Amino acid sequence: MEDKFCYSIKEVAEEFNLTYPTLRFWETQFRQIKPIKNKRGVRYYNKETIEIIQTIVYLTRQKGYTLDGVKKYIAGSKLDTAEKKAYITQTLTELKQTLLNIKQGLNND
């Protein structure tokens, strides 16, 4: 998706191959999905909301989660952004060290 402040329901539906009714239903199921509505009631989604939708699409289509499973997954991931970044950094550092050890082992053979 191009870099904009808000995206229409049409853009989001097309991006994730969803129907409008699906997106509207998910609004009722996930409190994190809160589109902005103009005077005519047209829905616009910000980047944070789109990330939630992307997570739901991934978990349901790729991982086979039910919507109840997605709700539990989202509720269980209460780490804030700083904690997530720290965890990812630590994991990548450990992976890098493992790869360096493997490389060193290959060079010694």
The pLDDT score that the predictor gives to residue 82 is: 63
pLDDT above 80: residue 77: no
- Tokens 């060290």 locate to 97
- Per-residue pLDDT tens over the stretch 15-72: 999 999 999 999 999 998 999 999 998 899 999 899 999 999 999 999 999 999 999 8
- What is the DSSP code string of the chain? ----SEEEHHHHHHHHT--HHHHHHHHHH-TT---EE-TT--EEEEHHHHHHHHHHHIIIIIS---HHHHHHHHHH----HHHHHHHHHHHHHHHHHHHHHHHHHHHH-
> Which is higher by pLDDT, 32 or 108?
32
The pLDDT score that the predictor gives to residue 85 is: 74
pLDDT above 70: residue 74: yes
> Rounded to two decimals, what is the model's pTM?
0.67
